[in-house]
Amino acid sequence: MRYKHSALWLLIAVLPAVNLGAFRPDGQTWKKIFNGKTLDGWKAPDMSYFSVEDGAITGQTTREHNPPENQFIVWQGGKVDDFELRFKFRIVGPKANSGMQFRSQVKERGLVHGYQADIATSGPYLGAIWDEYGERRALAARGERSVINEAGQKTATRFAAAEALVKGINLQGWNEYHITARGPQIVLRINDEVTAELEDRESGKAAASGVLAMPIIPGEPMKVQYKDIQLKVLSKKSARE
C-alpha cells in the first residue's frame, strides 16, 4: 500500500501488548485472533473507520468520512516473529488499497511501518511484499523471488508471470491470503498460489518481529474486509525445519 501524510493528524500512538499469552509457539495449532463479532483485541487511532460487517473486520472510507492520512487497525495480542497467518479478504473501490502488515512497528500517530502483504484493486501490488513507509519500497514483486543480502543488495528472479497469478481472482468476492515468515524467509500465497517470496538479510532493516495490522487509505472511497483470521506461532525449531 502506498502511503499518504497529513500534518492535520493528532499525535496518537497505538501500543499493543507484548505478551502473547495463549499464543505460545507450538508450530502446530491455528488460533483465531478475531472473533467475527466485535473489534475486541483490535485498535486504531480513529475507530470510526472500522466496524464488523459480514463477520469481518471492515475498513471503509467515504467522500464524507475520509481520513487525512492512513489509518491502521492493529491486533493487540502482541508481536509475532516466526509465524503463519491466513485470512479471507475482499476489497472494493477503483483505487482501493490495503494489505496485512506483519513484523511491523507502530510509530507516530499510529502509523505502522514495515512489511506488508499487499492488497489492491489496481496496479501491480496485489500479492507483492511492500516496505510500508520504508525507503526500500517494493521488496518482492508479484511473481518474483527476491534475495536481499546483508549489504542491502537485492537480486530478483521471476518464477511466474505477474498477471497470470491474479487471473480470475474476483476481489469483490472472498479470497484467501496465507503468509509464512520463517527467519529471513517470507512467502505469500493467494488462493493457494505462491505470489511472492523474499529472503531478507539486510543489516539494520530486516525485521524479525513486530505487530499485525491492516490499513485503509484516504482519497477515493474504498472498502476492505478481513475475516477468518487465524495465526499459527512457530517455534524456532519448527521454523527452521
168 occurs within a structural domain: yes
Nearest CA among 104, 81, 109, 77 for reference residue 25: 81
Over 90: is that where the pLDDT of 7 sits?
no
**Sequence letter at residue 207:** A
Residue predicted with more confidence, 168 or 75: 75
Question: For the segment 146-205, what is each residue's pLDDT rounded down to a tens digit?
Answer: 999 999 999 999 999 999 999 989 999 999 999 999 999 999 999 999 999 999 999 999
16 occurs within a structural domain: no
Residue 235 — very low, low, confident or very high, per pLDDT cuts 50/70/90? Answer: confident
20 occurs within a structural domain: no
Question: For the segment 101-125, what is each residue's pLDDT rounded down to a tens digit?
Answer: 999 999 999 999 999 999 999 999 9
Helix, strand, coil percentages, rounded to 5, for the chain? 5, 45, 50
13 occurs within a structural domain: no
Over 60: is that where the pLDDT of 24 sits?
no
Tell how far CA 73 is from the center of its chain: 11
177 occurs within a structural domain: yes
Query: Which grid cell is 165?
Result: 497469478
Taking all residues of the chain, what is their mean pLDDT, rounded to a whole number?
89
140 occurs within a structural domain: yes
Number of Cβ within a 10 Å radius of residue 59: 25
5 occurs within a structural domain: no
CATH of the domain at 128: 2.60.120.560
Range of the domain at 187: 31-240
Nearest CA among 145, 128, 241, 157 for reference residue 199: 145
Q: Give me the number of domains the chain comprises.
A: 1
Of 7-11, 104-108, 233-237, minimum mean pLDDT range: 7-11
Nearest CA among 226, 212, 215, 223 for reference residue 4: 215
64 occurs within a structural domain: yes
